[in-house]
Amino acid sequence: MTVEAWHSEFNPSKFLSRVNLAQLIERNEAYNENHISDAKAPCILCGKTYSIGILLNDKSFLCQQCYSEVALISYPEKYEALRRQFVIAVESRRLAWEGFQKKFEYKSEESALVFLGWLSLPLAFANPAFLILTAILLTIGYTKNSVNKQKTDEWLSRKARWEQNNPEPTAPTLKHFHDPTAQLTQRDRQILKIFNHWPGYPPFWKYLRSVVISRDSNRCQVTGCPSRLGLHVHHMRPVAEGGTHAPDNLVSLCDFHHALEPEKGHERIWANIKTRYFTLVCAHERSNRTNGGVHQVKAHLRRLQLITLDELRELTQTYGFCCPSCGETKIKFFLFAERNLIKVECPTCQKATEGPQQLTEETGPLLAEVLGVTRNKGKWQARWDILSERRNTTWGVWKGSTATAKRRQHKENIEATRSVPVCPKCGSPMKVIRPRPNDKWKAFWGCTQYSITGCKGSTRYVSKNGRGMS
């Protein structure tokens, strides 16, 4: 068979008619749940009056015929045609290759006779008669291997020529409906309007989801959330309230914060979230062990691993937590694990707040509510309504610190050393002389040489709060 003969027989163009495009293009399933049979309304796309079709989220009517067409669309007209041509070309090449492979492929196998021939060689030393057998086995075996190699080389050569003459189709550059650079026709704009109000997920939801998550820097948009879990795309304005599938109505949320959204449907997320950090327990019925019957258990959160100091520091680096009063970025965290308490203090203005040690997904956003945030601000506020216990575990207001007298005294001593006066009598440095608790005299500056030379130089001491001491 000549090259022209086998190439012509198995050229992909001859397999185009065998390609079923409908089976290759994923159909968006929204009809079964949203179809109606008594609409008697004009179709939003074709304008004809029909009874059977589906209702979109904005209550517009799409007839059954237009739905069957639109459900297969993922790109604007120009790019949809390129996509379908590419899909057909890929499938027809695959069919052609399978036919070519089935007819011409040769799988080489090493002859076992060679192995048996060499295996019988020791017998020839014991009995020369076996030498003839060994020679026959080796001759036949090597002859078969030679033929196998020739056929294998022939197959590989045919394969290389076929692949050269039938290269894989080049994927076209496709642009989606929401791509600002996409060329849209008037019909494309009509279809985009339909997709924005599509019941359920629109046909190009996977693309739209990737666009939104990429826009949101692959981070949960609740400020302070570490985003340890998978990301969901949430409708900011619910679809039931007229919200669309357009990117400006979508936001990236982690599993945890998406599950806390109160709209119907989000409770389904709870049953799927079980991590080493926490478990979200759905509302359910529980049997009474003693009295029989059942009782209702509210949806609740099981905290398994609470936030650590290292995670608090990571959150500070990610979101730039700072003092909301003076802007100090080197704020200090204190964790009292025995009481599940976290305290945050500003070393500059001595203001502080404290709150509960909870999950990282809880503590991070709550800290963002009371501290200053300098970077990576999100655009969504966490919902805590479902977690009723949150009302009793809020963070305190950022206010003056309750530092102990010892810590205040230490700070005063530091301030004092920054402006130490000199003795008016001998010029030596001075130090603050403080009275004991029962003494009636007040603190004063005394000469440091008193114990050495007996110098009694002294001066008035004024504390930081301005109170004079003689």
> For residue range 315-351, what is the model confidence (pLDDT) as tens digits?
999 999 999 988 999 999 999 988 889 999 998 888 8
* Residue 357 in tokens: 């040690």
* Same domain, yes or no: 341 and 442: no
The mean pLDDT of 57-77, rounded to a whole number, is 89
Q: Of 165, 199, 234, which one is at a domain's C-terminal end?
A: 165
Give, to the nearest 10 degrees, the angle between helix 129-165 and helix 112-119: 150
- What would the two tokens of residue 98 be? 């399978």
Residues 15 and 113 in one domain: yes
CB hemisphere CA count around 231 (13 angstroms)? 23
Check whether residue 16 and residue 156 sit in a common domain: yes
In a domain, 190, yes or no: no
Residues 457 and 366 in one domain: no
Q: What is the pLDDT of residue 4?
A: 44
Asked whether residue 178 is domain-assigned, the answer is no
Say yes or no: 347 and 447 in one domain: no
In a domain, 172, yes or no: no
pLDDT value for 371: 92
Whether pLDDT at 220 is above 60: yes
Note whether 382 and 427 are same-domain residues. Answer: no
- Asked whether residue 294 is assigned to any structural domain, the reply reads no
Alpha carbon distance 77, 68 (integer Å): 16
Q: How confident is the model at residue 3 (pLDDT cuts 50, 70, 90)?
A: very low
How is residue 35 written in tokens? 């179809």
| Whether pLDDT at 6 is above 60 | no
- Residue 351: what residue type? K
- Beta-carbon count within 10 A of 307 CB: 25
Q: How far is CA 273 from the centre of its chain?
A: 14
The residue among 344, 372, 400 that closes a domain is 400
Two tokens, residue 429: 């440095």
Mean pLDDT value of segment 68-78: 88
**Residue of higher predicted confidence among 223 and 119:** 223
Residue 365 shares a structural domain with residue 427 = no
Q: Of 253, 263, 215, which is closest to residue 233 (Cα–Cα)?
A: 253
Mean pLDDT, all residues of the chain? 82
Together in a domain, 340 and 440: no
- Does residue 87 form part of some domain? yes
Q: To the nearest whole percent, how much of the chain has pLDDT over 70?
A: 80
187 inside domain: no
Q: What is the pLDDT of residue 391?
A: 46
The answer to whether residue 247 sits within a structural domain is no
End-of-domain residue from the set 165, 181, 201: 165
Higher pLDDT: 268 or 196? It is: 196
- Domain count along the chain: 3
Task: Tell me the average pLDDT across 134-139.
Answer: 68
Cα separation, 383 vs 257, in Å, equals 7
CA distance 246 to 202: 10
Tell me which of 87-96, 106-115, 211-220 is least confident: 106-115
Instruction: Let me know whether 372 and 449 are in one domain.
Output: no
Range of the domain at 380: 309-400
CA gap 466, 470 in Å, rounded: 13
Judge if 348 and 463 occupy the same domain.
no
DSSP string, 338-391: GGTEEEEE-TTT-EEEEEE---HHHHHHHHHHHSB--S---SBPPP-TT-GGGG
Q: Exposure pattern of 181-204 as b/e (b: 16+ CB <10 Å)? A: ebebeeebeebbbbbbbbbebbbb
344 in the same domain as 430: no
Amino acid at 390: R
Is pLDDT above 80 for 117?
no
pLDDT of residue 25: 66
Q: How far apart are CA 131 and CA 115, in angstroms?
A: 15
50 within a domain of the structure (yes/no): yes
Note the pLDDT of residue 245. Answer: 92
Pick from 311, 312, 328: nearest CA to 374: 328
Q: 278: which residues sit within 8 A by CB, 6+ positions away?
A: 256, 301, 302, 303, 304, 305, 359, 361
**Same domain for 157 and 13:** yes
